[in-house]
Structure 1
Amino acid sequence: MVVSNLAMACLGYETTRASRLHLVLVVLVFCISSEIISSFAELQKFEHAPKDDGSISFLVVGDWGRRGFYNQSKVALQMGWIGEKLDIDFVISTGDNFYGDGLKGVSDPAFEDSFKNIYTAKSLQKQWYSVLGNHDYRGNTEAQLSPVLRKIDSRWLCLRSFILNAADIADFFFVDTTPFVTKYITDEKHLYDWRAISPRGTYIANLVKDLEEALRKSSAKWKIVIGHHAIRSAGHHGDTPELVRHLLPILKAHNVDMYMNGHDHCLQHISSLDSPIQYLTSGAGSKAWRGDIKRYNSQAMKFFHDGQGFMSLNLTRSDAHIVFYDVLGRVLHTWNLSKQLHSAV
């Protein structure tokens, strides 16, 4: 009766047992409705200004949170060097930020042990934009999304799904992919934090609707979608059928240029054979899977590396320069994309 007593105190009157019960029901319905509305609201939008020369540079890393082990610290060191060289504007994390079962709460030391005390280079003291991975869902997801973590380290920004706009150069669409994957719902070996996801069907339908509307409205030169799970991959997990079914048609319909993900602990670049989409996997921030690669169409597969590393992107309104690096900072693969600019008559 804590809720009803608080409500009565605020309203300042006595009630009967029946009216108290009615008030409790009203409050509960309001809370549930508010949760649904906040979960399915239009995607929150953030702004990040480009450099004075009209360019954006950033790093992409995923599947990293292992307290420095499995070469996480070595990858972080090289990210610092490359970040300084490129004068990066921000960092993107593709999820599985904290192994093995996310964060226990906002005071979990894993946040500092795996993030704050690892990515210490001056060049990495920029905003980090992050999505949740399936391992993050095994912990307290609300903790990872909490503003409390931003007070511990102001770089941290993690939401389920959101948009990052960089003027007219690029729009980045961050998508919460874990709820799409059916096997996690039926997984009896692990507990997942689905508190804000139920009802799952409604959550997914609204997310897809919001993403499609946001893509339709975007006038940016580059449209980049980020999720934890791969749409196309030759790695351990391979393609994600649920994303191929629910997300890929939307990405194709709205001329998305790149889809970036983690989940598979490797680095890879796959080119779509029936659309402009470049599938870029950066999930090698710590533990990697040597020799774990599936056969893939040789025309589509441009690059695969079964070790640790990360990637960088430099964007202007007309060009995109993509680079993959290994754990020692060596360049493994580069790719250039161009867009035709139309001047006003």
Structure 2
Amino acid sequence: MSFKRRRFLIIGGLTGLGLAVFGKQVLRPGQSTTATTPEVPPLQVATPTGQPLLRFAAIADTGSGDRNQFAVGKAMVQHRDRNPYDLVVLAGDNIYNSGEMSRIQVAFEEPYQKLLQAGVKFRACLGNHDIRTENGDPQVRYTGFNMQGRFYSYKAEAAQFFVLDTNGNADWKGQMAWLEQELSQSQALWKVVYGHHPIYSSGHYGTDSGFVKLFTPLFKKYRVQLYINGHEHDYERSQPIDGTTYLVTGIGGATLRPVGKSSWTAASTSRFGFSAIELYRDRLFIQGIGTDNTVFDQGMVPV
């Protein structure tokens, strides 16, 4: 790989920090550009029936250790009582403010104590705050986050999950080669990718044009149906874009930020909560659930 290409990959990861380089444009909430806001048709939503193949929850920007995070954790327990699940996607910034493991109890073990005691498995990736302490290595080693490296994949029922390190100092050359190989070999009905930083977003940081160019051709080629991220402290669900739905779920406890809408936005809001996701044979069902246990958004993704 040429030096120029390596430089693009590294800087592409930095765009999540709000840097305007290599043609990236940071968008204000609701702002868009022709290159990053493809027109998509509205998706009709119908509540699915029958038992799902898999249920899981997704949260990000969680590790505040304050009452908001505890309220989200309580809502997740109450939802699980009605709709059992055993997996939580933890999409980065797991410990505020600097990923220090001295806060692991208040930022993770206490807010999700009942879930952990029930055997629910959290699968984490690293956020930009997490790498402030020893580059995130202590979190990679922490058994409660079930990480198999800085990027890794795992299977659950009919789904395969591909977990990314989207930070600027990631091993971009190795990671992108790994991702394409893993996607090309996957026979899973559902392919879900997650990392901390957004690809499409109407929030504070906006759509990342570098990541759009880097990831979306692979997602389209290998039929990735869902990408999950945080970093934006809001909730936003896109319409399917070339077959992929983009879900921002950075509402797990950190201070909220405003979010706008783009032409491809199906729903967006700023309120604490989490995403509940069900996989069926022919569709994927997403719900946004608040700390008051109300469903504030729901949408369907075709297989």
| TM-score exceeds 0.5 | yes
**Partner in structure 2 of residue 266 of structure 1:** 234
Taking the aligned partners of 1:302 and 1:223, their CA distance within structure 2 comes to 21
Structure 1 residues 76-107: Cα deviation after superposition (integer angstroms, max 9, x where no partner): 1101111222110211101000111112xxxx
Q: Are 1:164 and 1:171, in contact at CA under 8 Å, matched by a contact in 2? A: yes
Structure 1 residues 119-176: Cα deviation after superposition (integer angstroms, max 9, x where no partner): 1224764110000001101112111111xx32xxxx4313311111124x11111111
Give the one of 96, 116, 120 matched to 1:126.
120
Larger Rg: 1
Residues 218-227 or 280-289, more deviating? 280-289
Taking the aligned partners of 2:259 and 2:237, their CA distance within structure 1 comes to 13
**Partner in structure 1 of residue 289 of structure 2:** 325
Q: Which amino acid aligns with 1:60?
A: A
What does 1:1-345 correspond to in 2, within 5 Å?
55-69=53-67, 71-103=68-100, 108-122=101-115, 125-140=119-134, 141-146=136-141, 149-150=142-143, 155-158=144-147, 159-167=149-157, 169-179=158-168, 197=170, 203-273=171-241, 275-290=242-257, 292-297=258-263, 300-339=264-303
Q: Are 1:58 and 1:83, in contact at CA under 8 Å, matched by a contact in 2? A: no
The gaps in structure 2 that reach 5 residues or longer are: 1-50
- CA 1:296/1:142 → structure 2, altered by over 3 Å: closer, same or farther? same
Taking the aligned partners of 2:218 and 2:301, their CA distance within structure 1 comes to 21
Q: Are 1:56 and 1:89, in contact at CA under 8 Å, matched by a contact in 2? A: no
Give the fraction of aligned pairs with identical amino acids, expressed as a percent: 26
The gaps in structure 1 that reach 5 residues or longer are: 1-52, 180-193, 198-202, 340-345
Measured after TM superposition, the shift of residue 295 of structure 1 is: 4.6
Q: What is the DSSP-based 3-state SS (H/G/I as helix, E as strand, rest coil) of the residue aligned with 1:109? A: helix
Q: What is the DSSP-based 3-state SS (H/G/I as helix, E as strand, rest coil) of the residue aligned with 2:146? A: strand
Taking the aligned partners of 1:66 and 1:289, their CA distance within structure 2 comes to 12
Measured after TM superposition, the shift of residue 315 of structure 1 is: 1.1
Q: Which amino acid aligns with 2:209?
A: P
Output the TM-score relative to the length of structure 2: 0.78
Output the TM-score relative to the length of structure 1: 0.69
Greater RCO (CA < 8 Å, at least 6 residues apart): 2
Structure 1 residues 224-260: Cα deviation after superposition (integer angstroms, max 9, x where no partner): 1101111001111111233112212211121110111
Q: Are 2:260 and 2:268, in contact at CA under 8 Å, matched by a contact in 1? A: no
Measured after TM superposition, the shift of residue 57 of structure 1 is: 0.8
**Partner in structure 2 of residue 184 of structure 1:** none
**4+ residue stretches of structure 1 with deviation over 4 A?**
none
Q: Are 2:63 and 2:254, in contact at CA under 8 Å, matched by a contact in 1? A: no
Structure 1 residues 308-342: Cα deviation after superposition (integer angstroms, max 9, x where no partner): 11101111332311111112121011112343xxx
